[in-house]
Chains A and B, each alone.
Chain A
Amino acid sequence: MKIHHSILIDFMEDKDIKIIAEIGTWESNMMKRILDTYGCSITRYWATDIWGWSERYIRVSEEHWDKLYFKACQLMHQYPQLRVIRGSSLKIFKIFPKHYFDLVYLDADYHYDFIVNTIKNWLPLIKKDGFLLGKIPRSFHPEEILKAVSDCFGENVTLNRNDYTWIHRVR
Chain B
Amino acid sequence: METHHNALINFMKDKDIKTMAEVGAAMSKMTELILNIYKHCITQYWATDIWGWNEANKIYINVSKTEWDIRYFHACQLMCCYPQLRVIKGSALEIFEIFPESFFNLVYIDADHHYDFMASTIKNWRPLIKTDGFLLGKIPRKKPEELLRAVSDCIKETDVIIDQDGQLWTHRVQ
B contact residues around A73 at 8 Å (CB)? 86, 88, 95, 98
Q: Would you call the interface of chain A mostly helix, strand, loop, or mixed? A: helix
- Known contacts being A86-B89, A95-B73, is A66 close to B94, with CB within 8 Å? yes
A contact residues around B97 at 8 Å (CB)? 70
Interface size on A, residues (CB 8 A): 19
- Complex interface residues of chain B between 77 and 94 (CB less than 8 A to chain A): 77, 79-80, 86-90, 94
- The bracket for how many chain B residues form the interface is 10 to 19
Cross-chain contact B80 with A96 (CB below 8 angstroms) = yes
Query: In chain A, what residue has the closest Cβ to B91?
Result: A66
Cross-chain contact A77 with B100 (CB below 8 angstroms) = yes
Q: Give bound CA distance, A90 to B100, whole Å.
A: 34
Q: Does B72 contact A (CB under 8 A)?
A: yes
Query: In chain A, what residue has the closest Cβ to B100?
Result: A77
A contact residues around B100 at 8 Å (CB)? 77
Cross-chain contact B90 with A85 (CB below 8 angstroms) = no
Q: Does A76 contact B (CB under 8 A)?
A: yes
Q: Can you name 21 A-B residue pairings with CB atoms under 8 Å?
A: A66-B90, A69-B89, A70-B97, A73-B88, A73-B98, A74-B98, A77-B98, A77-B100, A83-B79, A83-B87, A84-B87, A87-B73, A91-B69, A92-B73, A92-B76, A94-B73, A94-B77, A95-B73, A95-B76, A96-B80, A100-B80
User: Which A residues fall within an 8 A CB radius of B?
Assistant: 66, 69-70, 73-74, 76-77, 83-87, 91-92, 94-97, 100
